[in-house]
Amino acid sequence: MDNGKRNNEAPDSGEQTTKKGISRRKFLIGGGVGAAGLLVGGGLWYRNNLPDSAIESAFNRALSSDRNRNYFEEDALHVITTGTGAPLPDPNRVGPQAVVVAGDQMLVFDTGPGSTRQLALTGLSISSVNALFLTHFHSDHISDLGELMLQHWTGTGVEEPLQIYGPPGVEEVVAGFVAAYQPDRGYRIDHHGADVMPPSGFGGVAHTFDIGTDLMASEVVYEAGGVQVIAFNVDHPPVVPAVGFRVNYKDRSVMITGDTIYSDSLIHHAMGADLMVSDALNHKMSQMLSEAGEDMENNLSSITEDIQESHIKPEEAAFVAKEAGVPVLMITHVLPPVPDFLKRPFLRDARAVYDGHLQMANDGTLISLPVNSDQFSIHELLG
Ligand SMILES: [Zn+2]
Ligand SMILES: [Zn+2]
């Protein structure tokens, strides 16, 4: 079992010195957070005539921003939904990804399109990722793998590649992305030098776990720093293999469904968890979209009908959470894409069966589960 490769230190706010002698933050919070926060007040004239000193101080403020740092100082199982969309384009959501931060571990689940940028914008350092876990190999769950591997390598010049865990097939997927990024690897080493971009840190290493196809089957696939990751099978027709994950840290746990239809086994795997992060497809809305798209000269209508066979309904996810005694249910992988004013209708049938905390996650929603308690708190890191 691989353990976390570099971050054995506590997630405190100290400084350390890299091999290049550059002082940097020890853990988690990378530079550059808040670049989107280069908001400049004042009128149009002022903005058009901004002195260099104001621009310089705006960059300094952005690079020193620790606005999300405090959330991670508490000893808790932290879960961030960095990507909450699905394959259909959604202006408000990138492809699926969840991130777990607990103790000295930072674990990533899936790499949907655009998720690497959202992860960077939360302020978490991608070079601090200890391991990536893939639920299955639909493109909307893997297409940012090249970017995640690249940012993991280039962020601080790590010397070990990204560790990537998945069911059978993960070797092929990783090898393909590594091959596709070979020219870029060469450019970056040539451009910045091997000291800044150690060649050994490029790419990823695949670790396969095989738990067969029994929906009740599960297996511990990773343990490090007090964090345990358990993989379990899910039913995601026609995709085999497809898995979900349960992550345990001290007395807290989260169950991440991945993509699945309803199955009684989900209740078993979610039993007693503090948080469930579930995909969901609103069948009624998907059917409406399918019918609305019937006259279009593309595949929207047939695709939105077909996908109804592959995803759990919000009310089914709510039923699982209720039966398993899970007090917080966050809906992700939102299908079909909906504007804000349809969020409540999307979850209406789910609310009828579940009286725990239920909401649609956003890109950047942080759910913190402090240890030795049954409390939870929710914050928006990208809002
Ligand atoms: Zn899928
Ligand atoms: Zn998907």
* 246-296 residue pLDDT tens: 999 999 999 999 999 999 999 999 999 999 999 999 999 988 888 887 788
Q: What is the CATH number of the domain that holds 142?
A: 3.60.15.10
Ligand 1 centroid vs 174 CA: distance in angstroms?
18
Residue 36 has pLDDT above 60, yes or no: no
Residues bordering ligand 1, an ion, CB closer than 5 Å: 138, 259
Assess if residue 63 is contained within a domain.
no
User: What is the domain extent for residue 165?
Assistant: 69-380
Ligand 2 is an ion; residues with CB less than 5 A from it:
138, 140, 259
CA distance 214 to 72: 37
Question: Minimum-distance ligand to the CA of 236?
Answer: 1
Mean pLDDT for the stretch of residues 167-182? 98
Residue 86 is predicted with a pLDDT of 93
Would 26 be classed as within a structural domain? no
**pLDDT-derived band of residue 127, with 50, 70 and 90 as boundaries?**
very high
Average the pLDDT over each of 29-33, 315-319, 333-337, 369-373 and give the range with the smallest value: 29-33
Average per-residue pLDDT for the chain: 88
Q: How confident is the model at residue 330 (pLDDT cuts 50, 70, 90)?
A: very high
Residues 334-358 pLDDT 10s: 999 999 999 999 999 999 999 999 9
CA dist 154 and 179 (Å) reads: 17
Q: Is residue 232 part of a domain?
A: yes
pLDDT for position 304: 73
- Cα–Cα distance measured from residue 35 to residue 287, given in angstroms and rounded to the nearest whole number: 40
Inside any domain, residue 45? no
Query: How many whole angstroms separate alpha carbon 107 and alpha carbon 128?
Result: 9
329 located within any domain: yes
The pLDDT, as a whole number, for residue 25 is 34
Neighbours of 73 (CB within 10 A): 12
Residue 37 within a domain: no
> Based on the structure, what is the number of domains in the chain?
1
CA of 236 to the centre of ligand 2 (A): 9
Determine, yes or no, domain membership for 178.
yes
pLDDT at 79 over 60: yes
